[in-house]
Structures are given as structure tokens and as C-alpha cells.
Amino acid sequence: MIKHSQYPRGKAPSHMMMALLTGASAVSPAFAADAVVAPAPAASAPGKVDEPTVAPVIVKAERDTAKPSSETQYKTETTRIGKTDTAPKDVPQSITIVPAKLISDRQNDSMVSSLQHVSGISFNAGEGGRIGDNLNLRGFVSYGDLFLDGMRDIAQYNREVFNLERIEVLRGSASMLFGHGSTGGVINQVSKVPYLADENSVGFTVGDQGYYRGTADLNKVLGETSAFRLNTMYTKDEGSPKGADSKRFGIAPSFRTGIGTSDEFAISYYHLNYDNTPNFAFPWVGGRPYDDASDKFYGLKSDYQTDSADIASLEYIHRFSNKTQVRSALRYGEFKRDLWATQLAVVGTPVTGDSRVNRNSPPARGANDQDMFWQTDLTSRFDLFGMKHETLAGFELGRESSDRFGYVGTPGKPFTTVGSPDTGATITTPYNMTRTNYNYFTAVTQGFYLQDNAEFIPHWKLLAGGRFDRFYGDYANANLNTRTRFQREDNDWSYRLGLIWEATPNLNLYVSRSTSFNTSGDAYSYDQAGANTPPEENANTELGAKWELLDGDLSLRAALFRSQKLHERSTDTSTVPGAGNLLSGKRHTDGWEIEATGFITKKLQIFSNFAHMWSNVDAIGNAPSAQSQLGLPAANTATNSGSIWAVYNFIPNWSAGFGADGQSKRNFAIGSPNNAPGFVKYDAMLTFDQPRYSLQLNINNLFDKAYFPAVYNGWAVAGPRRNVQLMTTVRF
């Protein structure tokens, strides 16, 4: 707010001049509504010189001229994870927001590396024949629970961060908001959008292990209410271990117009492609990963993983008032993936440096995926029957398709040894690959939902929402000139309940209950039994508290929870083959979480969280092989996991960061004798920052720890060993 002094009669500034003085648009709605100019008085008698008599002019103006808070600090002020613009403390469910600022400070270049800072998450390595990002949340598989700007991100690929403002992790069942899936929660990626300021930055990072990365973030104002933004990236990495190299390119242009007005329109496009040499790591040895193989690559130089993602989006917002608006978004995506890798088998025990390693049984598969979603939300705030309401109503229509294939014609591959793998080895003869094992899956979904958050008495809010979903799946297998086809339609209801007590202006206490469901078609395939099996049912119960401290600079949260799979597909030996799976399985994860994010002092900023979980298989089918799993913990679920990162501005322009990530031991499957040991790894950062440029030095895995964050039944994948990176950023 700017207070202008009095002006001589007849010299009061025009709206245009006021706009120039305040930095606001001359036709800004905020300016038009809030600027108050007193009329000039009548002229005085000739020859008399009057003192200025114009009353002070108060001008208030607000424009979308700054980057979102998550791009400039660790504490994020608002989220749309619940489909409405909400402060995180007002969401009656556990949520962790990984901001772009943290991603940059820790030199993360993928979604997976960014999620290593989030407790309760563990990573799978090729689980179920999948390619790309694959993780567990609260002990439940969540590869189908990845979203981009609130819409399902279906494809199997390795997601980048160059165009992300933040990553939101909502824990617990959430089908009322997102449709099928979400047993343990959802991960929502939020894209960067144009804003009304000319700001540009170009960054270049160089590191050991042949690492190079260039990024550009260019934002340009194109009128009173319009802006264009371009984010782009190129990365080349020789890999850790060396030989598992990667080349990535991405570009994401976007345009917004009508920013802050009653009608806002946005259009964006996202392209990512990469050419990797995949690392299928090393087999388990003696019930654990083999540490001496953690820094070695046993694949072939001729192995490859080539993926691409192309996503086009349109969004329209109409604001009826500052309390009511409708938001409608349309998206179309195409995704391609192709994998030819090497899997290992060790010959002889015990394993020594000169033990023979056979390269055989290569994972070889690919797919072409398409999706289209249309999502519309109406939100409104109003008073009714003496209560304050925040209401959401909306629908979602979607079509997802996946055409998958495998390969035959496997060539022979040279063997190697444990201690001295030939990372440059290739197959010189033609691969003679032939695509086969085609299968096709198409899903059509419709979802309709309604939610109300009502303050029924002062400081008490009741959130209640329900959703109806129809999921229709059509699967066909055309392997070896034979064709089988299965179809299934599921109709399911989901609900969400939350009671929030605003105990103080800075403290919210809540209790919540939410449900979700998983269809047999969530994995984009059916067999005869799956096509006759209704959805699994899940629920999440949570008690929590969220604080805003230090004048809102620091956020704290704590929660107790139980996430349950109430009816899990299981095998019963008395069932007629193909008649359908039973839903007699049950399991749960109990736990507690704590989190602190934001500024402790003006010079010290932190991002930290910790989760303690204990999971259990409560019931299972009567197949003899399954009975031994009763009472055991879930697969790849760490009892303890957490992260802490702190940055301290110790002298002007200089900051130092230090932190750690870790988790306790995990097994790859329920009852498996193989366990990946627990670990804690440490990272450090030093930054010199000026208004126009900055230099940043990162040392990741400071003490060169051998650790294994991703596991599968055949192998465990090691995390990167110690590496040093230097980043230069220029702003203009």
C-alpha cells in the first residue's frame, strides 16, 4: 500500500499515473476496486493562492507479480491437493510438500530423488515388470497414484523436475478426490506457470562421473494480464555406477492470459525424452545386497531404455466473484517406452571377485500409452443457515489406453566377473529382435463428486464429501495369433470426512476418515479371474495437529494413522479356476509422523520429517503358500524413515546446507529372507548468492555410503556413491 501526499488543485494524478507509481496496471481490477480519489474543491477567488486541499489518496493494488512461495522458500503457503486453494494446515490429512527451492538446493534432477526427502516412501526396482517410477507409500504400492496438476499421470517413465513448482504427497486413501487407487496416498506434481513479471534464469551444473546439466526458466510479460513461460532442460550423465549413463531433454512452454481477471485461460505443452542405459544392478547374496557390486555396472553398452512423454493441456477459469469460480481443464498425453536390458545370475558360491556372472534373461518390453482427461470443478464460499460453507462440486471424464509388447529373439551375451565387469561390452551381432506378446487395454472412467467444508459453530469445521466412479476396462491379448478378451465394469462410491477444531489462530486439531478402491484393471490388464473380481476396498483413519509458529514462518505437524486394505484380492483353493479372486485378504499399516518446515530464524531454514510405521498381514486366502505370510510386515516397508535438511545464512550472501536421509531395513516381498539393510546418507551444500548470479557447490552422499534404496525379488539397486556438483545460475 502506497500513501500519496496532497497534490495542487487540478494536479491529482490520473489512473495511469497512479498505476505507474504503484506498479499496478492502469486497468487492474484490484486498482479499480480499491483506489479512492477525492474530488478537487471549487476554485478560490482570483489572486488568492490556496494551500493544497486534496485529501490523501490511498491506493491498494495486487498483481500476480511474484513466483509462488514454493519456488523461493521451503514452506509452501497454499496447495490444490484437495481441488481447492487451501492452506496446508486446513487439510485434515497428512501432506508433505516438496518445494522447487528444496529440489534446487539439494540438486535433485528427478521426481524419485526428490521424494527421498519424504518419510513413509520406499522404492521398487522393476516391480511387476514395470519401467520407470515405482514406489510404495505407507506400505502400499502407489505406481498408479501419480498425478500431474491433479490429473492422473498414467505412464511408466522416469519423471523429471525441471518444470515442477512443487511435489505434493497426500497420505491415506483419497478416491473421493482422485478416483480409483490411492490406498497409501497420492503424489501430485505441480507444474510451473507464467506470472506477471519479467524474470529469467539460466543454470549450468557440472559434476564428477561425467555429469552435465543445463536448465533455463524464462518468464515474459506479454500485456496487462498475459505472460509466457518457457522451461527447458538438457542432462548428460555417465552414471553411478559408471556405465549406467543417461541423456535427457525436456521443454515446456506455457501461456496464460487474463491472469487475476474474471476469465483466465492457459495453454501448455510438455515434452520429455531420454535415452538411458538401464541398471538392473546385482543379485542378492546371502540374504542381502552385495556391497562390493554397488559401484559397478554389469550390463552392456548396447542395452537401452528410450522413453518419451508428450502432454498438452488447456485450462479455463471463470470467476463469478471472489468467492465463486469454475475451473475446467483438458489434457491429452502420449507416452512411448522401449526397454532392452541385462539381468544377471552369479555362478557358484561363495561369491568372490573372480566369480562368474552370466548375463541372461534380459527384460525386454515396451508400450505406447495415451490418455485424455477432462476435469471441471465449481468452488464457492457462502453463508447458509448461520454456517460458513466452502463447497466443491465437479466431474472427471477420462480415457486411458495402453498397447504393450515384448520381444523374442534374444541373442547370446558375454559373461563377466564380479570384481571386473566389462562395462563397455556390446553385442556386435544384430539383436534380431521381434516384437511379440502384444496386449491392449482401454479404460473409460467417469467420476462425479461433491464436498462441503462447513464451519457449523465458531472454530469448528466439518468436511464431508462423496464421489461416484464408473470404471470400464477392456483387455485383449493377441499373443501367438490367439486372442482372448476380458471386459469389466465397476461402479463404486468413496467418501471423505474430517472434523477440524481451530484451537487457536495458529493450531488446528483434526480427525479424519477417508476411503478408496482398487479395481482389477488398475494394472491395465485382466485375466479370467480378475475380470470376475470386484474392487478392493481401503480406508484411512487419522488424528493430527498442525501448527503455524513464529508469525507463520514455521509449520509443524504431527499425526497418528491407520491405513487399511479392508478387502484384498487373495487366492482360495476351493474357488473354481477363473471364477474370480476372493476379497478375503486384509492388512494394515499403523504409524505416526512428525514434520517441521520453514524458518526457525531469519537465517536458518529447515525441511524435516520422520515416520514410524508397523505393517501387518491380517488375513489372506487359504492357499498353503500364503498361510506363512500371516502376521508378517508388508513388502518394502521401512519401520523408520525420515529426512532432515537445514540451510544457514552464516554471513551475507553465503549459506551452508547440511542434511541426511535414511530408512530402516526392508525386504522385497512378504516373508522374504532377503533384506536391504537400513541406511543414513549425508549431503552438504555451500552457496554464494548475488541478485544476478549464484554459485552452488553440492556434495551428495558425503561419506560415500553404499546403500540400496530400491529393491526387487531378483536384485537390489544401489544409490549413487559420493559425487560433487557445481552449479552456476545467472538471473536477468
CA atoms within 13 A on the CB side of 533: 30
- On whether residue 296 sits in a domain, the answer given is yes
d(CA 597, CA 590): 24
C-alpha cell at 123: 522404492
The answer to whether residue 481 is domain-embedded is yes
Strand partners, 314: 267, 330
Distance, CA of 359 to CA of 219 (rounded, Å): 49
In the chain, what is the straight-line distance between the N-terminal and C-terminal CA atoms, in Å?
27
Grid coordinates given for 683: 549431503
pLDDT of the residue at 30: 37
In a domain, 25, yes or no: yes
Predicted confidence (pLDDT) per residue in 13-35, tens digit: 443 333 333 333 333 333 333 33
Residue 132 lies in a domain: no
The answer to whether residues 98 and 75 touch, using CB atoms and an 8 Å cutoff, is: no
**Cell 470376475 maps to which residue?**
532
- C-alpha 268/C-alpha 231 separation (Å) is 11
Question: Does residue 440 form part of some domain?
Answer: yes
Q: Is residue 677 part of a domain?
A: yes
- pLDDT attached to residue 126: 66
pTM for the full predicted model = 0.89
Cα distances (angstroms) measured from residue 433 to each of 308, 340, 358: 21, 10, 20
| Spatial CA neighbour of 396 closest among 151, 182, 143 | 151
What pLDDT does 367 receive? 93
Cα angle 678, 682, 686; round to 5: 165
Task: Look at residues 684, 686, 682 and name the one whose alpha carbon lies nearest to residue 651.
Answer: 686
Name the residue range of residue 512's domain.
Answer: 199-348+359-731
Final residue belonging to a domain, choices 17, 40, 63: 63
Q: Single out the residue in 31, 47, 63 at which a domain terminates.
A: 63
Domain harbouring 402, CATH code: 2.40.170.20
Q: Is residue 139 part of a domain?
A: no
Q: Which of 180, 162, 177 is nearest to 216 (CA)?
A: 162
Rg from Cα positions in the chain: 28
Cβ proximity of 608 and 651 under 8 Å: no
- Residue 395 inside a domain? The answer is yes
The closest of 291, 305, 422, 309 to 362, measured between CA atoms, is 305
pLDDT of residue 161: 97
Number of domains within the chain: 2
The pLDDT score that the predictor gives to residue 15 is: 39
Alpha helices by DSSP H, listed for 272-410, are: none
User: Which stretches of the chain score pLDDT less than 50?
Assistant: 1-62, 128
Contact indicator for 231, 202 with CB cutoff of 8 Å: no
